[in-house]
Structure 1
Amino acid sequence: MDTAATESTEFTEFTFRDATDADVDALVALVESAYRGDSSRAGWTTEADILEGRRTDPDGVLAVIKNPDSRLLTVERGGRIVACCQLEHRGDHAYFGMFAVSPTIQGGGLGKTVMAQAERQARENWDAAEMHMSVISVREDLIAWYERRGYRRTGRMTPFPYGDERFGIPQRDDLQFELLVKELA
C-alpha cells in the first residue's frame, strides 16, 4: 500500500511512508533517542528518569514492519527519519504505538501532524472506529498531551512487565500501563 504523502510546514517538508526493512537501524536509533538516555533529555518525551535500558530493538521493529496487520508509519525530512508510529489493525479499532519524534525537533507540531495522519489512515484503510494506546500511567505530561488531542483515560491498567528487560529497566516500583482511547469520527 502506498502511503507516501508530503506535508509542508513553514520552512521544511516532511514525507510520510511505510517503513521498510532497510529502515530498521534508523528507527531503533530514533525511538531510543526520543525516550532513553541523555539524548532523550533534549526533548520532553524522555523516560530516562523512570526507565533505563532499551526501549526497542531491531527484532521488535522488524516484527512490526513484517506484521500484515501492522504498519510503521515513517516520517522523513531531508532524507533522514525524524518521526514514526506503529499502527496495528485490531478488529474494530487500531492500536497506536512506537510513537517517536526526534528530540531536537519536538515541540514544533510534528507530533500532532503524525498523530493526525495515523488517525486518518486508521479510519480510511481499516474503517477503525477507535484508536487505542497504552501509556505508562506516571507520565502525566504525556497523558495530558494526548488528552488535548481527544484521547480519554479509561482507568484500565495493565501491569508493567518487571523483569523483562525488553521493556527497559524500571527505576521505580509503581509503573503500569493505562489504556487511552479516542473515537475516530
Structure 2
Amino acid sequence: MATAERAAQPTFRTATEADVPALVALVESAYRGEASRAGWTTEADLLEGQRTDPEGVAAVVGGSAGRMVVAESGGALVACCQLENRDGHAYFGMFAVSPVLQGGGLGKAVLAEAERFAHQEWGADEMHMTVISAREDLIAWYVRRGYARTGEMSPFPYGDERFGRPTRDDLQFELLVKKLGQPEGV
C-alpha cells in the first residue's frame, strides 16, 4: 500500500451537477493511468482507458434512485461513492479515494457513512456491491469490513469502452454483501 497523507476528518454531502468534472477526475485518478499507482486501488494493470465519463457520473448525480456522496477535506473533494436504493437493499458503487490519501482511513470513513445512510435513511437491511474478482486485495479489504463473498459472478462488459479496455480476458464481477446494522468485521 502507498504511504498515505492523513486527511482531516471529512465532511459528507450529496454531489451536485457542478461536482461532475471533479468527480470524473477523482474516479479516473483512483483507478486508471500512472496517477492511480500512487494508491493501492489502481486497476491500471487490468484495464486501460477510462473508468467513467461525465455522462455516466452526471446520470448518477441527477438520478432519483440514489445519491452520489462526496467527502471533502480542507475544502477539497477527496472521495466519493454512489448509493442506490434497490428494493430493500442498497447498492454501493463508484467508490473512489484520492490516491495520495489511500491507506489513511478515509475509505473506511466513506464506507461507514454510506452504510449509516443506507440503513438509517432508507431502512436498507443489506449493502450490495460488485468488485472485479481478480482484485483479491480489494475484496480482502471489504471482507475485513464485514462483507461476504457470495460467489455470484456477472460478466465484465467487454467491448464497451465506457468501462475501459481490458488487458486480459478473464475479468468478471463478484457480488459482495453485508448485513447492515451489524458490527464491522475484524
**Residue 149, structure 1, aligned to residue 145, structure 2:** yes
Q: Determine if contact 2:7/2:104 at 8 Å carries over to the other structure.
A: no
Find the counterpart in structure 2 of residue 49 from structure 1. 45
CA distance 1:80–1:11, change in 2 (3 Å):
closer
Taking only aligned residues, the RMSD between alpha carbons, in angstroms, comes to: 1.0
Alignment of 1:173-184 (within 5 A): 173-184=169-180
Q: Residues 11 and 184 from structure 1, CA distance in 2 versus in 1: closer, same or farther, beyond 3 angstroms? A: closer
* Distance in 2 separating the partners of 1:76 and 1:12: 9
Counterpart for residue 99 of structure 2: 103
Runs of 4 or more consecutive aligned structure 1 residues displaced over 6 Å after TM superposition: none
* Aligned equivalent of 2:159, options 149, 159, 163: 163
Shift of 1:13: 3.4
CA distance in 2, matches of 1:69, 1:123: 15
Which blocks of at least 5 consecutive residues in structure 2 are unaligned?
Answer: 1-5, 182-186
| TM-aligned CA deviation for residue 77 of structure 1 | 1.2
Aligned pair count? 176
In 1, Cα distance between equivalents of 2:8 and 2:27: 21
Tell me what 2:22 maps to: 26
TM-score by length of 2: 0.93
Pair 1:134-2:130 in alignment = yes
Native 8 Å contact 2:131 2:175 kept in 1: yes
RCO higher in structure (CA 8 A, sep ≥6): 2
Paired residue secondary structure (2:169): coil
- The residue aligned with 2:33 is 37
Structure 1: distance between partners of 2:115 and 2:141: 16
**CA–CA separation in structure 2 for the residues paired with 1:11 and 1:118:** 18
Percent identical across equivalent pairs?
71
**1:124-173 residue CA offsets vs partner (Å, 9 max, x unmatched):** 11100000000000000000000000000000000111000011100000
Q: Given the two structures, how large is their TM-score scaled by the length of structure 1?
A: 0.93
